[in-house]
Amino acid sequence: MSQSSASAPTLTDLLSKPIESFSFADIQAFAQSLEPEGVQLDYKEALPRNLAKQFQAFSNTRGGLTIIGVKENEQKGLPESWDGVPNDAKLLDIVYQQVARVQPLPNCKVVITNEVAGKIFLLIRTYEGNATPYYVENNGNLFIRTGNISDLITVASPEMAELLYEKRSRAASAREQNTKRAEEIYGAYLKRSEQDRLNKTALKKGGTYTEPLYEHPMGTNMGICRIVLQPYFPRKDFRPLTELPGILHEVRTATPPLNDFVILNGDRIQFGLVQADMNTRNGAVHCQQMYGNGYLFHLTDQVRINREGVHQLSIGHLAHNLYRMLLLANDFYRISGYQGKVLGFVRLDNLIDPTYVFPISADRIFFEERPCLLPSYIWEIQTDTSMLASPEGRRELFYGVLREIYWSFDLEPPADNAVYERFLDQVKLQ
């Protein structure tokens, strides 16, 4: 990205987009916008000796960005000059030595911009830690970031220290609560559609309803695929819920392949929006939920039944939805301003024996099949917003999940990624 001061990157850009995409001119333009230091932003004129303390504080709080080469006004926290620092080959070594002083090891990314007149900016993005609390070796103080310009880094209070110790379990509990809530919402819509099917069945027996009807209870006798993505610690809404429809509209506009994938006219529910489509004619189910705290839930029937009554599962169909979810998550978190770790899963349930699995082929013609051995499967997803924002990182994540899926079904994965690349081209997701 090469921008003038008229289109300077925002703090949200710097926290969510690939950090290596910013140039020397971009950082100068950002500094000229006079964004003040805060919980997630720190300026340094030169490489500080106590950089490990920065890593510790960012990891213990919400993560953030340190820009080396910008001088700040210590009273106001505003940039005063933005000349960069000399391009010294030892800079990266010094930074990584400081990283190694923090335990547990923090999750961070360090990038040097292009050189201009012998100067560069050193950009250090530190992610919110998932193994809090973080300490600097030989220092028992527990530092955190604050929003106070005069005291950006301070020792955590006893109450805050207790929260950091409990953070891992609280994060897991919050993620579990999100999924429990999403399943309850889906279950409520499923129950409503099943009652509708039963009412139509009674009318059909009486001769007053002539349309086809699904012969089984809704949500049964078919494979269901769930794809879930959410922040490591989804503890609060990124934006007011009233802004959620606007964010989703922006996602659809920014990424054309998501026009028919993202919630358009969803129902309001506590904490978010839902769009559920239940077809009593053929039993097809679809449910998508999005919450203000970044929880993204996509459920659809994934198995098709051919004319002979054989259940067929296409990895291509699953892959199509998975990649669109990765695109959706990237756009949603970028617009919402979230940066950090993202967890989730792909899960298949209700697989009838036998259900035959078909791989992605180079020409999208099914040429191999394997029967499923189990009624359900799950594949974990662990990533971060930086990887989601990078086309290369996003594709590598996608390929990795697909390789696990192939292995689970005793299918030989493609010899190289070219098959996946052609598949994404064919479904217009590149």
List, for residues 204-237, the tens digit of each pLDDT value.
Answer: 998 899 999 999 999 998 899 999 999 988 878 8
Q: Which of 113, 133, 157 is the last residue of a domain?
A: 157
pLDDT of residue 149: 67
pLDDT of residue 3: 44
Q: Which of 138, 157, 176 is the last residue of a domain?
A: 157
> Taking residues 381-410, what's their average pLDDT?
92
Q: Do 147 and 186 share a structural domain?
A: no
- Residues with Cβ within 8 Å of 336's Cβ and at least 6 positions away in sequence, in order, are 238, 239, 247, 294
pLDDT digits (tens, 9 = 90+) for 267-303: 999 999 999 999 999 999 999 999 999 999 999 998 8
User: Is 175 in contact with 343 (CB distance < 8 Å)?
Assistant: yes
pLDDT of residue 35: 94
Q: Which of 112, 139, 157 is the last residue of a domain?
A: 157
Q: Do 116 and 65 share a structural domain?
A: yes
Average pLDDT, the chain: 89
User: Is 214 in contact with 283 (CB distance < 8 Å)?
Assistant: yes
Q: Do 372 and 335 share a structural domain?
A: yes
361 vs 208: which has the higher pLDDT: 208
Which DSSP string corresponds to 35-48?
PPPBTTEEEESS--
Sequence letter at residue 319: A
Instruction: Please indicate, yes or no, if residue 162 is contained in any of the structural domains.
Output: no
> Taking residues 1-7, what's their average pLDDT?
50
Q: Do 290 and 221 share a structural domain?
A: yes
State yes or no: pLDDT of 357 exceeds 60. Answer: yes
pLDDT of residue 272: 95
Which DSSP string corresponds to 224-251?
EEEEEEEESS--S-SS-GGGHHHHHHHH
State yes or no: pLDDT of 150 exceeds 70. Answer: no
- H or E element, residue 356: strand 355-358
- H or E element, residue 27: helix 24-32
CA torsion through residues 15, 17, 22, 26, sign: negative
User: Is 30 in contact with 8 (CB distance < 8 Å)?
Assistant: yes
> Taking residues 172-181, what's their average pLDDT?
95
* C-alpha to C-alpha distance for 72 and 80, rounded to whole angstroms: 5
Instruction: Please indicate, yes or no, if residue 298 is contained in any of the structural domains.
Output: yes
Q: Do 230 and 120 share a structural domain?
A: no
Instruction: Please indicate, yes or no, if residue 35 is contained in any of the structural domains.
Output: yes
CATH number of 101's domain = 3.30.950.30
- Tell me the range of 25-34, 310-319, 332-341 where mean pLDDT is highest: 25-34
Residue 410 banded pLDDT, cuts 50, 70, 90: very high
pLDDT of residue 89: 86
* C-alpha to C-alpha distance for 64 and 413, rounded to whole angstroms: 38
* C-alpha to C-alpha distance for 395 and 424, rounded to whole angstroms: 10
Q: Do 136 and 171 share a structural domain?
A: no
State yes or no: pLDDT of 147 exceeds 70. Answer: yes
The number of domains in the chain is 2
pLDDT digits (tens, 9 = 90+) for 78-126: 999 999 999 998 999 999 999 999 999 998 999 999 999 999 999 999 9
Q: Do 152 and 171 share a structural domain?
A: no
Residue 430 banded pLDDT, cuts 50, 70, 90: low
pLDDT digits (tens, 9 = 90+) for 158-172: 888 888 888 888 889
Instruction: Please indicate, yes or no, if residue 337 is contained in any of the structural domains.
Output: yes
Q: Do 179 and 75 share a structural domain?
A: no
Q: Do 337 and 283 share a structural domain?
A: yes
pLDDT digits (tens, 9 = 90+) for 229-257: 999 888 788 888 999 999 998 898 888 77
Instruction: Record the pTM.
Output: 0.78
Q: Do 225 and 354 share a structural domain?
A: yes
> Taking residues 26-41, what's their average pLDDT?
95
Q: Angle, to 10 degrees, between the axis of helix 51-60 and the axis of helix 91-99?
A: 50
Q: Do 200 and 146 share a structural domain?
A: no
pLDDT of residue 59: 92
Instruction: Please indicate, yes or no, if residue 255 is contained in any of the structural domains.
Output: yes
CA-atom Rg of the chain in angstroms: 25
Q: What percent of the chain has pLDDT over 70?
A: 96
pLDDT digits (tens, 9 = 90+) for 34-71: 999 999 999 999 999 889 999 999 999 889 999 999 99
* C-alpha to C-alpha distance for 249 and 262, rounded to whole angstroms: 9
Q: Do 184 and 150 share a structural domain?
A: no
Domain enclosing residue 252, as ranges: 167-426
Q: Which residues pair with 347 in a beta bridge?
A: 226, 378
Instruction: Please indicate, yes or no, if residue 276 is contained in any of the structural domains.
Output: yes
* C-alpha to C-alpha distance for 69 and 15, rounded to whole angstroms: 18
State yes or no: pLDDT of 412 exceeds 70. Answer: yes
